[in-house]
Structure 1
Amino acid sequence: MHGANYRVGNGQPYTRKKYIKGKPQIKIAKFFGGKRDGDYDYCVQLCSSQKMQIRHMAIESARLAANKAIETVTGETGYYSTLRVYPHILLRENKMISTAGADRLSEGMRGAFGKAVSLAARINIGQVIMEAHVKKEHLEIAKKALHGASVKLPCTPTIKVIPLKTAA
């Protein structure tokens, strides 16, 4: 099933993993990257422009793209990035058979609860998906990196730049 089918979050989110056998594993490897306690000047944020669901594969893909782009220029200790969303909503699918003779084998909508296939995070308008803390000289690189990460997401997010230090 394609990710576009799960883009709109209709109804109540299903999060009770306790009752599901064979639940999908989260694909996100790390939620933090770089050096946490650095002396950074700016925080560049990737903010959602619409209300939707983002699957965990898309979040991980965006994280990898942004971290790799920033890390090649600044090194491992020249930035700090954080994922600010956690995919905890279970996505289910009632798979239908579409081959010859499927009418004899398929159950149709009888017991159509569905099997857990993936995880997703519900995002509201203006919610921060990801952020990167960088020094002044790496600000443009961080903006480009987060723009490259936004291509991997199903929506078109906005990029905000927040200064961490006040000009004195």
Structure 2
Amino acid sequence: MPRYFLLVIVLVFVGCMNTVQNKTVSKAETKTFPVSKTDAEWRSELNDMEYYILRKAGTEYSFTSDLLENNEKGTYVCAGCGTKLFRSETKFKSGTGWPSFYQEIEGNVEFDVDYKIGYPRTEEHCANCGGHLGHVFEDGPKPTGKRHCINGAALDFIPDSSY
């Protein structure tokens, strides 16, 4: 029995080391973006949830975003800097509890890999301010097969009638 216990401890330790070794610094943490502000400036301009999502790479609870059921035509923009990120025509109901899109506005979203939960995921952030948006997965609908799973707090919605 003690040998099995020791084996389990060694396997857990090795498994944890592997996760730590995969930890890398994301491009969003080191890159200088066109919109660059101090932490104090971001804190003063964003509400608590926006700050947590955009600047600390947090995740909101599923099924809590007001934008989840939004069916208006328009553009979803970065809540931090107003950059156009997604069009309403690419939004779909994924059932995950977060606003989901099958295509970003090209050039306005950047991608990186994060290992925060122990395995690699493709993280998305605003190409203009570096704000964390969510993650993209390969299980979306045609034509792209992508599911951009985005925190609603990272987005503002601008109806087409406002342009």
TM over 0.5: no
* Superposition TM-score tier, normalisation by shorter sequence: under 0.3
Between Structure 1 and Structure 2, whose CA radius of gyration is higher?
Answer: 1
TM-score where L is the length of structure 2: 0.26
Q: Which has the higher contact order (CA 8 A, sep 6+)?
A: 1
